[in-house]
Amino acid sequence: MEKKEIMDTRLENRVRQYRKDGGLSQKALAELLGVSRQAIHAIESGAQIPSTSLGLRMARVFGCAVEDVFRLVADPGIRARLAPSAPGSGTGSRVALGRVDGRLVAHRIAPHGWTAADGILGEIDGDEAAVQPLADIGNLDHNVLVAGCAPILGALAHRVGQRYSDARLTWLRAGNGRALDLLKRRMVHVAGLHLSVENGDGDAAAAGQRALPGRRLVVANLTRWRQGLVLPAGNPLGIESGADLLRAGLRVVRREAGSGAHDLAVGLAAAQGSDVPTGGPRAGGHGDVARLVRMGLADVGIAIEGAALAEGLDFIPLSDERFDLIIPAALSEEAPVSRLLDALDDPGFRTEISHLPGYDGSQSGHVTTVEAA
């Protein structure tokens, strides 16, 4: 039998305890309140919920606040599919929640608290978990789960939440490979990936078709950017090209397999007949790469130009790329996902992108429909 997603809730009361503490029989309490003894029995057993007026009169008889007599039992929680942990999210208990194809999905979020949690993990049973919601679970139907590595997804999330009452967006940090895997598993609504501009949206469409064969898709452009080498200000080691990543002793920031940065590093190393360096610190995203270099914990890393500029670092471009959002077409036609596309096509959003160094919003909001493969 399928497990119930939402557990039952009930009103808990302490009428019997207060009545006995006051030395009252059910009949005596009923006479004081002007109701039948059967009504008192039904309330004490939980079979009947008293009216607001009766509850207040009971509290007055007992000499206490109504909240002392009646309270809602804490919601024992909901059940959700639990997504595999992302690099850097650890095994914390805070999760983001959303409903994908009719089922709730929980994603662990990083422990630093920059992203507000929708719930707290309880008991885990395989790939499912009990979750204690932190707000009205009805609002979870409005949450669009977007997996991708573009920092500007944070700005898009803010714009969606600000503009619409029936939609919000949660950005789940993920490289290309993980984002597509989550979309394939139906654990997110949208997957973001960045690929070379050479084939327009063709590469993104092909990647989406491989992940979701037989499904009609929408490819929406978020932005264009350049990816390359992030270096300390002044480039003290005189690094000039991707080939320099193979210098002996160089501390090169590592990214997870499947991320766009890792794929670029693999290609650069393969062109020199070598493997990707493995001796440097690991980063979970473009911003992390830039911070590690700025703090002197790494000599170089691969990230987007915007991340380098934000930290006051030097940058050597290696690849012109476009960042696209892959969305199942059926989801794109209904709120809340359709709200994301509306916000993406908003002139205000494109204007905002144009004022962010390292981003190109000239094609933001451009949508292509990809028929089922």
Residue 372 burial (CB count, 10 A) = 11
Domains, the chain, with CATH or none: 11-72 (1.10.260.40), 77-135 (no CATH), 140-373 (3.40.190.290)
User: What pLDDT does 201 receive?
Assistant: 67
Output the DSSP codes for 293-342: HHTTS-SBEEEEHHHHHHTT-EEEEEEEEEEEEEEEHHHHTSTTHHHHHH
Q: What is the CA radius of gyration of the chain?
A: 27
Question: What's phi and psi for 80, nearest 5 deg?
Answer: -145, 155
Question: What's phi and psi for 40, nearest 5 deg?
Answer: -65, -45
Residue 193: beta bridge partners? 324
User: What pLDDT does 7 receive?
Assistant: 44
User: What pLDDT does 307 receive?
Assistant: 95
* Contact assessment for residue 323 and residue 277, using Cβ atoms and an 8 Å cutoff: no
Cα 62 to Cα 67: distance, rounded to the nearest angstrom:
12
Query: What contacts 81, CB < 8 A, 6 or more positions away?
Result: 103, 104, 105, 106, 127, 128, 187
User: What pLDDT does 10 receive?
Assistant: 59
* Contact assessment for residue 133 and residue 77, using Cβ atoms and an 8 Å cutoff: yes
One pLDDT digit (tens) per residue for the chain, 373 residues = 344 444 445 578 899 999 999 999 999 999 999 999 999 999 998 888 889 899 999 999 999 988 889 877 655 578 999 999 876 556 778 999 999 999 999 999 887 766 789 999 988 988 999 998 988 888 899 999 999 999 999 999 999 999 998 999 999 999 999 999 999 999 999 999 999 887 666 789 999 999 999 999 999 999 999 999 999 999 999 999 999 999 999 999 999 998 999 999 999 999 999 988 888 999 989 999 999 999 999 999 999 999 999 999 999 999 999 999 999 999 998 889 999 999 998 888 989 998 999 999 989 999 999 998 7
User: What pLDDT does 110 receive?
Assistant: 80
Single-letter amino acid, residue 126: G
